[in-house]
Homo-oligomer: A and B are copies of this chain.
Amino acid sequence: MPDKESVILLAHCPDKQGIVAAVSEFIFNNGGNIIDLDQHVDNDSKLFFMRVEWSLENFQIKNGDLQEKFKTEIADKFDMNWKIKFSDEKLRMAVFVSKIPHCLYDILARTQSSEWNVEIPLIVSNHPDLQHIAKAFGIDYYVFPNVKKDKLSIEAKQLELLENHNIDFVVLARYMQILTDSFVSNYPNKIINIHHSFLPAFAGAKPYHSAFERGVKIIGATSHYVTAELDAGPIIQQDIVRVSHNDSVDDLVRKGRDLEKIVLSRAVRAHLSMDVLVYNNKTVVFDN
């Protein structure tokens, strides 16, 4: 973690010669010093991916001008899809929950103890059960009870709420509802879900029951960006834990809880750190 302020560039574009040279020259010629540079080429799609962080200490370009200068001098030349984030920006995150608390506790603890540099203006739920947790951590909690046939109007209200609070991204912390495509399309690659299986195995409902039925010796958890297709979005993080014939479905649920909260948190952290690029329904996760 750098002491001085820094900026992170995340970019992808068609691969061609000279991209690294051009970007590093741009930074160097303007007085920046590269702290971290990671690049990746996908040979199938011939795409080039890059994450560069550089110090602003002696950087000559003002923060307000960087966007425009980089666009003109570099990005347009290479047809880049790109974004930058200054190290002192604080993203705003909404958390969606149902009745299961362990991921919520974990997220709130990390935020309250400044492990993460993020703002949580609100928690959304379809049940009042976890309201006391939100209260203990001093965060507003909005309940939208499930009403059949009324999903779209509920989501409309939720979207309005998110917009009013300038939410940058959404975390589904064991939110047991399926979002409509329309909702998802408002936050492309900005809704992170935790699925309690080692995807693509056991997508859909009750994965621990299915894992038990199949007699697997390892269970997993998967964090991914939400897309229109259920449990099929780009995977950000996965991890596993061993199980045995001794483990009942309840034991899988218990062992899975720790997995879920860790795997979800790693994804949130990667998102916050600008480590994740999405293409082709897959992710490049630069290990920053």
* Chain A residues close to B by CB (< 8 Å): 1, 17-18, 20-21, 24-25, 27-28, 31-43, 49, 101-102, 105-106, 109-110, 113, 115, 136-137, 198-202, 214-218, 220, 234-240, 242, 244-246, 248, 250, 254, 257-258, 262, 265, 280-285, 287
Whether B21 pairs with A17 at a CB distance below 8 angstroms is no
Instruction: Return chain B residues, CB-CB under 8 Å to A36.
Output: 41
A interface majority secondary structure? mixed
Q: Across the interface, name the chain B residue whose C-beta is closest to A50.
A: B37
Whether B215 pairs with A238 at a CB distance below 8 angstroms is no
Q: Across the interface, name the chain B residue whose C-beta is closest to A220.
A: B218
Q: Which of B38, B105, B113, B137 contacts A113 (CB 8 A)?
A: B105
Assembled-state Cα–Cα distance A31/B258 (Å): 38
Whether B216 pairs with A257 at a CB distance below 8 angstroms is no
Q: Which of B21, B42, B102, B214 contacts A21 (CB 8 A)?
A: B21
Q: Which of B1, B106, B115, B283 contacts A245 (CB 8 A)?
A: B283
Assembled-state Cα–Cα distance A238/B240 (Å): 11
Assembled-state Cα–Cα distance A235/B217 (Å): 7
Instruction: List 11 other contacts, CB 8 Å, given A216-B238, A246-B287, A262-B262.
Output: A1-B248, A18-B28, A20-B24, A21-B28, A40-B245, A43-B248, A105-B113, A217-B238, A217-B285, A242-B242, A244-B287
Whether B235 pairs with A216 at a CB distance below 8 angstroms is yes
Whether A240 pairs with B218 at a CB distance below 8 angstroms is yes
Instruction: Return chain B residues, CB-CB under 8 Å to A37.
Output: 20, 37, 39
Instruction: Return chain B residues, CB-CB under 8 Å to A250.
Output: 1
Q: Which of B17, B102, B113 contacts A101 (CB 8 A)?
A: B113
Assembled-state Cα–Cα distance A244/B24 (Å): 24
- Minimum CB–CB distance from A264 to chain B (whole Å) comes to 12
Whether B102 pairs with A105 at a CB distance below 8 angstroms is no
Whether A198 pairs with B214 at a CB distance below 8 angstroms is no
Q: Across the interface, name the chain B residue whose C-beta is closest to A224.
A: B215
Q: Across the interface, name the chain B residue whose C-beta is closest to A136.
A: B136
Given A216-B238, A235-B215, A238-B218, verify A258-B254 contact (CB < 8 Å): no
